[in-house]
A and B are shown apart, each in its own frame.
Chain A
Amino acid sequence: MVLAEVSRRQHRAGGTRTELTQQTRVGETLIRGLVRAQLALAVQLSAVVLVGLGGLPWLFAIAPSVGRMTVLGVNLPWLLLGVLSFPFLVAVGWTYVRLAERNEQDFADLVQRPER
């Protein structure tokens, strides 16, 4: 039963899976491509956080008037850091999970593509 399943899966997946597990040049190139895509995604999204949040202390420091602005009676830095930063972080995280899963799906489709 189990053996049958394994052989069926191997039959379906074809040669690309073997390329990956056997560490051939094609397999290496494939996995390197995936790692690079995932790393690029993570770096891009950290850059978003770096600018969006990391820029704030610098902004408050060079433009003190921004820190004195008030919205609905609350000073802007308090509102940005104390409240809005959290949904912002969750939104970035949500975007990452979606895009990272899409990268993996693309990779899986490539590997499981029926052989000609």
Chain B
Amino acid sequence: MSNDFVVPAIVAVTLVTVAIGFYGLRLARTTSDFLVASRVVSPTWNAAAIGGEYLSAASFLGVAGLILKYGVDVLWYPVGFAAGYLALLLFVAAPLRRSGAFTLPDFCELRLGSRRLRTLATAFVIFIGWLYLVPQLQGAGLTLATLAGSPYPVGALVVAVVVTANVALGGMRAVTFVQAFQYWLKLTALAVPAIFLALHWQADGRPEVTPPDGPIFRTATTVVVEHRAVLTLPDGQSREVRPGDELTFAAGEPVPEVSGVATRASDWLLPSTAGSDDRGLFATYSLILATFLGTMGLPHVLVRFYTNPDGAAARRTTLVVLALVGGFYLLPTIYGVLGRIYTPKLLVSGQTDAVVVLLPEAALGAGTTGRLLAALVAAGAFAAFLSTSSGLLTSVAGVISTDVLGRGSVRGFRIATVIAGGVPLILALNVSGLDVSQVVGLAFAVAASSFCPLLVLGIWWRGLTDAGAAAGILVGGGAAVTAVLITVLGPPLTGWPATLTAQPAAWTVPLAFTVMVAVSLATRRRAPADTGRTMLRLHAPDSLRL
């Protein structure tokens, strides 16, 4: 399948992004310095920029894919991705802005005055940044492969090169305007096709989302399997399929049960219940904890808070972000649900992450409308890859150049950018089999088990010491990192070990908090002498100007 509108749409988005980036930079240079320029931006613009940077491939493609595949249980992903901003608002936003910290390592040094802790935080920023960059590149590869028929590595390579070059040349750095534009583009790119799809579904006689006998193929379909699975055919026979296998189904034929996919209507429609599936409940709570608490620890999220003029503005901006992001997350569900009707073949092929980009043509046909809408979605998806990867890359390259290479020069930043962009590209080329949203979920789990306790305790508890913070990050964050590595690289697991490593937050977050508090209490003498002054700075109202 190839759609001749897709490539021009993607090229246009990329060019507009680069162009606005360079234009914005020139604008920023003329106003003495970019921080001053960005501080005259209103909370609404700033919030749209934060939202634009935050809504990544996982939100744009992954959430709908997961809903198509697993149903109601994964609705916690969008809820958690949005609720993360509430946790950020309640516990972090205003004090963090008042602290004047630009990055997480900065915060460590400001609050606890320890260079060693700063180094440790740097390592975690880099790890989380890379873990989060991989699925962005993966999503790009997948989208181009599905829509333009290019091999998987091409899309990943294109985004990695464009973003690395753009960040290295300074085009994208902290230009609020680009990111704000990306937010509205992404919202439009999902909302407009969603309206067409809903109308089409109405006109189609409102076919059932969950027919009593399971999903069926509405038209004759040929499926090329992408991921290994075991199919259970309607006559009870089971069959193992491998990547590359071709299966054909006649119109009206039921979709076979696929291993690891909620094919049956009841599994998909109803939440997992107690007794039958305790692991499901544990995984759900673990996911909730990771997403609620992980957002505040993502490197590219915190940097943006510095562009608020003061603590009160940071709070208002966060509230607007919560509303913008929440509004966006109403949309992927529509794609996941309608995908059950119009793209059941993705359940068999295993490429559920492609549902957003394939659904418009599958439902509306390959006429001009369907192809134009597909191109619009593809453009939105590329906006998602570009904006999130640029934000991440800027943060990771920033800490690499200042904390690892140790030189603040432009040349150092460029070298750091190439390193920061190259590593995730190599990883992305080798892990195409993972769900985009699952990898992102793991990044959230690591952030929630390392930086969340550091920020929350650092802001609210005078007793935190550098030794306590380091121990908590090492033990909690280390446990989460181990779980990630086992999930991504290790052998396939089953039962409780699989659940505990695939969704580690429910045990690693409490562990991190406990260790951090216990070690801080044991090393009480190491608490910085100026904690009182720092607390005053973090919490005193901006209007007092102390």
Contact = CB atoms under 8 A, between A and B. Distances in A.
Given A53-B83, A87-B326, A89-B322, A35 B460 contact: yes
Contact of A57 (B271, B533, B535, B539): B271
A87 B330 CA distance: 11
A77 B271 contact: yes
Contact of A60 (B79, B89, B273): B273
Given A23-B532, A31-B539, A54-B288, A112 B544 contact: yes
Interface in B38-92: 72, 75-76, 78-79, 82-83, 85-87, 89-91
A38 B86 contact: no
A93 B506 CA distance: 24
A26 interface: no
Given A46-B87, A68-B270, A81-B76, A20 B539 contact: no
Contacts of B330: 82-83, 86
A17 B333 CA distance: 52
A77 B333 CA distance: 13
A75 B72 contact: yes
Interface string B266-285: 00011111100000010011
A89 B543 CA distance: 28
B90 A108 contact: no
B173 interface: no
A72 B70 CA distance: 23
B87 A61 contact: no
A87 B87 CA distance: 15
A88 B330 CA distance: 13
Nearest to B538: A35
A93 B86 contact: yes
B544 A49 contact: no
Contacts of B312: 101, 104
Interface residues of B, number: 48
Contacts of A83: 330
Contacts of B493: none
A85 B269 contact: no
B541 interface: yes
Q: Which 8 A-B pairs have the closest CB atoms?
A: A86-B326, A104-B541, A60-B271, A61-B274, A81-B75, A42-B90, A82-B333, A57-B284
Interface of B: 72, 75-76, 78-79, 82-83, 85-87, 89-91, 94, 269-274, 281, 284-285, 288, 312, 315-316, 318-319, 322-323, 326-327, 329-330, 333, 460, 532-533, 535-536, 539-541, 543-546
28 contacts: A20-B540, A21-B536, A23-B532, A31-B536, A54-B285, A57-B271, A60-B270, A61-B273, A62-B274, A67-B271, A75-B269, A78-B72, A78-B333, A81-B76, A85-B82, A85-B83, A86-B82, A86-B329, A89-B85, A90-B322, A90-B326, A93-B318, A93-B322, A97-B89, A97-B315, A100-B94, A101-B312, A107-B540
